[in-house]
Amino acid sequence: MSLDSPLFLFAFLPAVLAGFFAAPTRFRPFLLLLASLVFTAMGDVSALPVLAASIFGNHALALAIGNARDAGRTVRRKRLAALGVAANILYLAKAKYLGFLAASLPFLESSGIDPAGLYGLPPLGISFFTFQAVSYLVDVSRGQVAAEKNLLRTALYLSFFPKLIAGPIARYATMLPGMRLPRPALSDVAAGSVRFCLGLAKKTLLAGTLGPVADAAFSARPLGGALDMATAWLGLLAYTGQIYFDFSGYTDMAVGLGRMFGIALPENFDHPYISRSVREFWRRWHISLSTWFRDYLYIPLGGGRVSPARVQGNLLAVFVLCGLWHGANWTFVVWGLFHGLFLVFERTRAGRLLDRAPAALGHAYALTAVMLGWVFFRAADLPQAMNYLGALFSFRFEGFAYTWMTVASRQALCALALAVVFSLPLGGVVRTISDLAGRGGPLGRGAAAAAAILAPAALLVLSAMQLAAGTYSPFIYARF
């Protein structure tokens, strides 16, 4: 079950909301935990034992680390923290990467053993709740948060259903006030509902429409024969929009749901496609993941305080691991290395010239680098990625007429145009329209108030119609 599935939208969520607001405040955390466990079971019942082990194990370790810190036993505190981090990461590696590592062994191919079938799929949400558990243990060890004595809160922190499938990766201190007293104001419920509807529309109306265009270009056998240059660029543009609106749409839905329940979740995106460098892109894209790697890996390795050669090595290591976090495939490793190399380049003298380059040149450089990186991210394997990159610069156009007739529908082109517009910061435009409406007297203010209610409702209806048409597709990041 996903946040945009009909079962969630029309059965699970209304039932949870009704129970939440009917329950006394002190019982609401228990109700949210119960809902989160049911949500997990409906998505992947085999994930429940893993999630339960993570909850109990990390709760006990955090208490032990906190006690060691209070007693001034530094060595014991560090050993316990190292044990907790290692246990979490090793289990994540076993669940996600054991099959990948086994597949790299040459003798398996000749033996006829399928590594994927041998080790199965990783448990639902394991990448996200494991990274949250690591951040919690390290923050307790550093004294940034106190160890939670209430098992229910630890369980809710790790399992809270809006963020379980695709994040954001929340810090314990961010969620704690809401978990202690989940009492959202009416304004929180209203703002959260609007945010949820906006995210659902981004997923279904934009990402869902762009997906088939990208799929047609990235398929093993592209429509119309060999992949031509125009089809390749059209597919890459579509995927660039699809992955952003798919993932940021999920974040909007998760953050909106959290606000409706009175629990704050961190922002994850800040218009990444307006970046002027790859470095800036990572300050705006998947913010909760990039800050996790910065705070719990890059800075402990020395950050920018060590020699230039070691900084470059640290950057490459961090981004290779960042790529591997996304999935057990060499394409993700290369994608991470690709971004790491750009960050290394931007720290050189030649790279720093970009900071003084015209804004248009910086935007073109960053967007081109990011889009070329998406080829590795989307491709099924490295040979397909290299073939796709070759098609992007092949100057061969035979077959595009067929693509234009069969794939580039008016709806898809409209979605692509809207994706370009809505990837830009439009807050100033919205404020200007609001100010103009306010100057229009009672009639203008009434129209603005009506639009604030009707627009999200219209997006919800349109999204429901799209889902009813049978165009549902899972969130891209749900598989990570």
pLDDT tens-digit map of 34-60: 999 999 999 999 999 999 999 999 999
In whole angstroms, give the CA distance from residue 48 to residue 51: 5
> Known catalytic residue: 326?
yes
Q: Lowest-pLDDT range, 7-16, 100-109, 336-345?
A: 100-109
- Residue 471, pLDDT > 80, answer no
Model pLDDT, residue 450: 75
Model pLDDT, residue 183: 92
- Residue 106, pLDDT > 80, answer no
pLDDT tens, residue by residue, 233-264: 999 999 999 999 999 999 999 999 999 999 99
CB under 8 Å, gap of 24 or more: what pairs does 282-290 form? Answer: 282/339, 282/343, 286/167, 286/247, 287/168, 288/167, 288/168, 288/169, 288/170, 289/131, 289/167, 289/169, 289/322, 289/325, 290/322
Model pLDDT, residue 350: 83
**C-beta atoms surrounding 377 within 10 Å:** 22
- Residue 328, pLDDT > 90, answer no
- Three-class secondary structure of residue 392 per DSSP: helix
**C-beta atoms surrounding 87 within 10 Å:** 19
- Residue 416, pLDDT > 90, answer yes
| Alpha-carbon distances, residue 439 vs 434, 442, 445 (angstroms) | 9, 9, 8
Of 59, 286, 326, 339, the active-site residue reads 326
Q: Lowest-pLDDT range, 24-28, 55-59, 275-279, 300-304?
A: 300-304
- Residue 351, pLDDT > 90, answer no
In whole angstroms, give the CA distance from residue 435 to residue 219: 47
- Residue 77, pLDDT > 90, answer yes
Q: How much is the mean pLDDT over the chain?
A: 89
Contacts of 276 (CB under 8 A, 6+ apart): 354, 359, 362, 363, 365, 366
pLDDT tens, residue by residue, 366-398: 999 999 999 999 999 999 999 999 999 999 888
